[in-house]
A and B are shown apart, each in its own frame.
Chain A
C-alpha cells in the first residue's frame, strides 16, 4: 500500500517537471551536445570529415576570432557595470516617487526592453547616420564636432556606439527588479537608522545593499550572459565592422556557420564561448553568494 502510494507521488513529481525537462533536453542539452560533437568535424555539403580538435587549434591562431573575443570581453566589461550601477541609481530615484510617477518611469525605461531589436536598431541607425543623423546635428549645433562623424564607420567610436545601444536596451528589466527589491527592504530599519543620525550613504551601504545583493547577483549574471551573446545589434548596425572593430564571437559564429556553412568551426567557437560564460558565471555566483552569506 505504502509502496503504491510512494510510486504514485513519485510519478506525479516527474510529470510536473516533465515539460521543463522536455524543453531543456530538446532545446538546451541536445543542441549543446550536438554542437560539441559537430565541433570535431569539417563539413562539406552533407559530407562530414572527422578532424578531432583541429577546429579548436585553428581558433588559437585566428586573428578575427581573437579580435572578436577581445571585443566581446570589452563590451561585457564596460556594459555590465554600467547597467548594474545605472539601473540601481535610477531605481533608487524612482522608488521614492508617487505611484503615478513610478509607473511612468517604469514604462519609459522598460519600453526598449519589450520593443523589437529591429525597430530599436532602425532608430539608432538614423541617430548615428553620418550624413543626416540627429546626433551629428545636435553636436554640430553645439560646436562639439565640426564635420559629419561616422559613429559606426569609425573603428574608434563604433564599439562605444554599440555599447550605448546595448545599455539602453538592457537597463529596463534591472530597474524593475531593483524597484521590487527595494520594496522588500524593511522601512523600520531605515527609519531607525535615520533617527540614529545615519547618512544616506551609510543607510545604503549597511542596510539596503546587503538586502539587494541577491537581486544584484541575478542582474549581474543575466546581463553578463546577454552581453556575451550580443548578436542582433551587431548584425543590424555594423555587421562586425568597420574592419572587425565590432565583431563579436556570437556574430562570428553566425557568419561562420550560417553564411559560410563552416559548421565545425562555428560550433567550436560556440563551445569556447559557452565555456567562458560558464566559468565567469560560476565565479560571479561564488563571490557574490559569499557576500550574501
Chain B
C-alpha cells in the first residue's frame, strides 16, 4: 500500500517535471503570440562618465527603463559583468546556451563569436556614415557584427603636476601641435625624471598578464616603427628589424630602472603608480581613463603620443558598441536589434550613452562633442589609427604568448631578442594558420 503511494508520488513528480518542460518549450511561442518579447542584456562597466548616475549599473538600468517605456512590448533583463571574470562568464554561458541577446563589448571578442556563428549581423546599418576603421574592425566576412558606437585611441599620458615639480616639463613635446617625440627625446625625459628624484619611477612598462596588454604592444611597435601585424592583418611582423631594435632598446633600458620594474606588474598597477604620483608617465591612457582621473588630487594628466624614431606613431584604438546574439528566435533578434538602435540612435539616449563611455563617436558627422583640450587632441588622432589586429584568427591564443616574451626581455632572462621574437612570430603564425583553416571548414 505504502509502495503504491510512493509509486504514485514518483509518477506525479515525473508528470509535473514533464509538463513543466513542455510548458517551458512552448513559453516563447506563447509570448510571441502576445507580441511580448523578453531579451537579456549583459554589460561591462562601460557607461562610467554620466554624472547623474553613481554607478554604471544605475546608468544601464535607466537606459533600459527609457527603452521599455518607449517599447512596452519588449522587456529587457539586465546582468552586469566585470572585466575580471566577465569574459569567462560569457564563454561559459555560450557553452551552456544561456548567453545574453545583447552585449556591449569590443571587436576582439565579438568577431571571434561572429566567426563561430553565435551572432546576428546588422544588415540594415548604413556603414558609409561610420568611421571606416571602426567598420573594418567590427566586420567579419563582409558583414557588420558589432554596431560601432564609440572609438578612441590608446596613447600615453604624463602627470604635469609631477613634471612641473621636478622641473622637467620643458622636455615634453606638449607645445607642438602633434606632440610627437623621438625615442631619444623620450629617453632623455625619463632619465631627467630619475636624476631629479631617484624615488620617482619615470614610467612602468608592465607585462604581468593580458590585462591592458595592448599598451605595451603599442609602445614596443611604435619605438622604431614596426607593427604587430601587416596592414592586411594576415601576417605577424613584429620580428622585423624595427621590432628587434625596439626590444633591444628595452633590454638595454630595463636595468637602469627608467622603464620601471614591470615584469611582475600589470596595467592596473602601472595606472595606480601614475594616479598616485609615484610614476610620472603612463604608457596606457585613453579618453575614458582621462575622465576617471579628472578628480584625482595631485594629478593633471595630459595626453602624449608614443615615442617614435620618425615622429610618426600609429595608434591602437578602442572600438565599442553592442552586438546581438542569434539565439534561434527571430523575435528576440529583432527586439535586441531594436534595443541596439535605441542605444545608438535615439535622439536623447544615443548621444548620452556615447558620452557615458567617454569615447568619440563612430559616426563621421558627430565630432567635437566634448569641450576639452586633451579630448580635442585625442579626437584628431583617428587619422593615424594602425591596423586593428585584435580580430586576427587566433588572437585570444596569441595574447598569452606576448607577455612572457616581454617578461623575458624585461627580467634579463632573454639574451637573444631576435631569437625570442622569431619564436613568438612562429608560434603566433601557427595559431593563425590553424584558426584560419578552421574558419574555412
A residues adjacent to B (C-beta < 8 A):
44-47, 128, 130-132, 148, 150-155, 158, 238-244, 255, 258-263
Contact = CB atoms under 8 A, between A and B. Distances in A.
- Residue among B266, B273, B413 having the largest count of chain A Cβ atoms under 10 Å: B413
A240 to B, nearest CB: 8
B117 A45 contact: yes
Nearest first, the 6 closest Cβ-Cβ pairs linking A and B are A45-B116, A153-B263, A153-B264, A152-B264, A239-B209, A242-B407
Interface of B: 87-88, 91-92, 94-95, 97, 113, 116-118, 201, 207-210, 257, 260-266, 273, 278, 396-397, 400, 403-404, 407-408, 410-411, 413-414, 438
Given A153-B264, A259-B210, A261-B91, A242 B408 contact: yes
B117 A242 contact: no
B116 A239 contact: no
Contacts of A255: 400
Contact of A239 (B262, B266, B414): B266
Given A45-B116, A130-B264, A259-B88, A243 B400 contact: no
Contact of A150 (B113, B118, B264, B273): B264
B100 to A, nearest CB: 16
A259 B263 contact: no
Contacts of B260: 131
Given A45-B94, A155-B413, A241-B263, 9 more contacts: A45-B116, A151-B264, A238-B208, A238-B264, A239-B266, A241-B407, A242-B407, A242-B413, A263-B95
B116 A243 contact: no
Contacts of A242: 207, 263-264, 404, 407-408, 410-411, 413
Given A242-B407, A243-B404, A259-B400, A131 B266 contact: no
A153 B257 CA distance: 13
B88 A258 contact: yes
B292 to A, nearest CB: 21
B261 A262 contact: no
Contacts of B261: 130-131, 148, 150, 153
- Of A131, A132, A154, A240, most B-chain CB atoms within 10 Å: A131
Nearest to B88: A258
A259 B264 CA distance: 20
Contacts of B92: 258
B208 A155 contact: no
Contacts of B201: 131
Given A46-B95, A241-B208, A259-B88, A153 B411 contact: yes
A148 B263 CA distance: 13
Nearest to B89: A258
A260 B396 contact: yes
Contacts of B265: 153
A259 B396 CA distance: 8
B102 to A, nearest CB: 19
A152 B207 CA distance: 12
Contacts of B209: 239, 241
A141 to B, nearest CB: 16
Contacts of A47: 116
B414 A261 contact: no
Given A131-B278, A150-B411, A241 B264 contact: yes
Given A150-B261, A152-B264, A244 B404 contact: yes
Nearest to B401: A64
A155 B404 CA distance: 11
A148 B262 CA distance: 12
A239 B273 CA distance: 20
Nearest to B91: A261
Contacts of A243: 404, 407-408, 411, 413-414
Given A44-B438, A258-B88, A241 B95 contact: no
A109 B413 CA distance: 37
Contacts of B396: 259-261
B411 A154 contact: yes
A158 B264 contact: yes
Nearest to B113: A45
Nearest to A151: B264
A155 B261 CA distance: 13
